[in-house]
């Protein structure tokens, strides 16, 4: 498993400067963010709601734009990512913009050993689950980091959309891949990035895991969380299918109109007030260790 994580981390480290520079409809447009914008989309803004004064943990925060956007809305934020470049860039940006934020470099699965404390909100979004092999362990650690009464929220790729053809230029809405994933990771080798398709990468290989909707929801249910809602959306935050068009709402839609396929789902799940987490193997001091569990 460590070698899969290492390969993925090398790719994400290389992607950080590519994404920091990325502009235009597919890009991260960091200059807009620096001028005071938000990197968050309308769906999560509405569905997460008011975060002012809340402690928010952002899993797989990349280089921190979403995390810092929540901070601008009044949350006390902690962003976590296993990419050294991502966390370094997030810290630099927070310092430059004078935003109070904490960033921890850790593999999600090592977080209980890397981070102390508990949170009102645990958040994750857009392209997170496909990097995680074990959703049951993921669900357990989310529940562990939540205070009783706190909630987890995720918006991510709808597993059903993976049945569509994913070859460049193919725009036929046909069933090209199985819905139920093969066991183990899929090795993917491709140049470029969703935010800058023309970029050339040295680290082009990654290992990704597919999950079913049932696997995602049951990982949360089994951790003791109570599902508040499960929503599905016929649009995406990136160009998930060839020919999708970016509309003013900030989402990519099928040119033939919304309806045929769900591209995103969201879930909100609350930790019941009576649910007490078992003691975590806590760090003795508060702080942000560098690279816990990254020896792979
Ligand atoms: C597509 S990005 C997340 C998207 C984020 N919403 C954004 O657009 O800024 C996926 C992130 O997951 C991180 N990641 C992948 N596997 C991880 C793991 N096992 N532990 C921690 N971070 C991981 C990558 O470094 C990357 O920053």
For the segment 241-263, what is each residue's pLDDT rounded down to a tens digit? 988 999 999 999 999 999 889 99
Say whether pLDDT at 292 is over 90: no
3-state secondary structure of 128: coil
Mean pLDDT of 138-145: 98
Q: How far apart are CA 124 and CA 154, in angstroms?
A: 5
- Residue having the nearest C-alpha atom to atom 20 of ligand 1: 107
66 lines ligand 1 (CB under 6 A): yes
Considering only CA atoms, which of 222, 207, 68 is closest in space to residue 141? 222
Q: How far apart are CA 82 and CA 115, in angstroms?
A: 13
Q: How far apart are CA 189 and CA 245, in angstroms?
A: 26
CATH number of domain containing 18: 3.40.50.150
In a domain, 205, yes or no: yes
3-state secondary structure of 11: helix
Cα(256) to ligand 1 centroid in Å equals 31
- Model pLDDT, residue 192: 92
Global confidence as pTM: 0.93
- Model pLDDT, residue 253: 97
Q: Which ligand 1 atom minimizes the distance to the CA of 9?
A: 25
In a domain, 289, yes or no: no
Residues 6+ apart with CB under 8 A from 296: 1, 2, 3, 5, 6
In a domain, 8, yes or no: yes
Domain that holds residue 268: 2-273
Considering only CA atoms, which of 63, 110, 155 is closest in space to residue 280? 110
DSSP 74: T
Q: What is the pLDDT of residues 208-240, one digit of tens each?
A: 999 999 999 999 999 999 999 999 999 999 999
In a domain, 57, yes or no: yes
Residue 281: pLDDT band with limits 50, 70, 90:
low
In a domain, 213, yes or no: yes
- Structurally, the chain folds into a number of domains equal to 1
In a domain, 278, yes or no: no
In a domain, 56, yes or no: yes
128 lines ligand 1 (CB under 6 A): yes
Say whether pLDDT at 295 is over 50: no
Q: How far apart are CA 72 and CA 20, in angstroms?
A: 19
Measured CA distances, 49 to 46, 72, 86 (Å)? 5, 14, 26
In a domain, 287, yes or no: no
Say whether pLDDT at 291 is over 70: no
């Amino acid at each position: 498993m460590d070698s899969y994580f290492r390969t993925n981390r090398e790719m994400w480290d290389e992607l950080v400067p590519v994404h920091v520079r990325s502009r235009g409809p597919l890009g991260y447009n960091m200059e807009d963010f620096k001028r005071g914008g938000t990197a968050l989309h309308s769906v999560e803004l509405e569905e997460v709601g008011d975060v002012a004064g809340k402690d928010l943990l952002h899993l797989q925060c990349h280089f921190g734009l979403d995390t810092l956007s929540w901070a601008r809305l009044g949350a006390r934020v902690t962003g976590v990512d296993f990419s050294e470049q991502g966390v370094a860039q997030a810290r630099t940006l927070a310092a430059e913009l004078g935003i109070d934020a904490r960033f921890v470099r850790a593999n999600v699965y090592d977080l209980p050993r890397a981070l102390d404390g508990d949170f009102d909100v645990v958040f994750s979004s857009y392209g997170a689950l496909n990097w995680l092999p074990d959703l049951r362990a993921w669900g357990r650690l989310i529940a562990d980091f939540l205070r009783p009464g706190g909630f987890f929220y995720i918006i991510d790729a709808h597993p059903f959309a993976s049945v569509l053809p994913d070859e460049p230029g193919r725009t036929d809405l046909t069933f090209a891949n199985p819905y139920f994933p093969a066991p183990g990771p899929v090795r993917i080798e491709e140049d470029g990035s969703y935010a800058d398709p023309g970029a050339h990468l040295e680290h082009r290989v990654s290992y990704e895991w597919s999950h079913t909707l049932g696997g995602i929801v049951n990982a949360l249910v089994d951790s003791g969380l109570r599902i508040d809602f499960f929503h599905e959306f016929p649009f995406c935050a990136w160009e998930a299918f060839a020919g999708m068009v970016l509309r003013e709402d900030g989402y990519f839609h099928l040119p033939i109109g919304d309806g045929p396929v769900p591209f995103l789902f969201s879930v909100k799940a609350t930790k019941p007030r009576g649910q007490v987490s078992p003691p975590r193997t806590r760090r003795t001091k508060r702080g942000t260790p560098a690279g816990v569990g990254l020896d792979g």
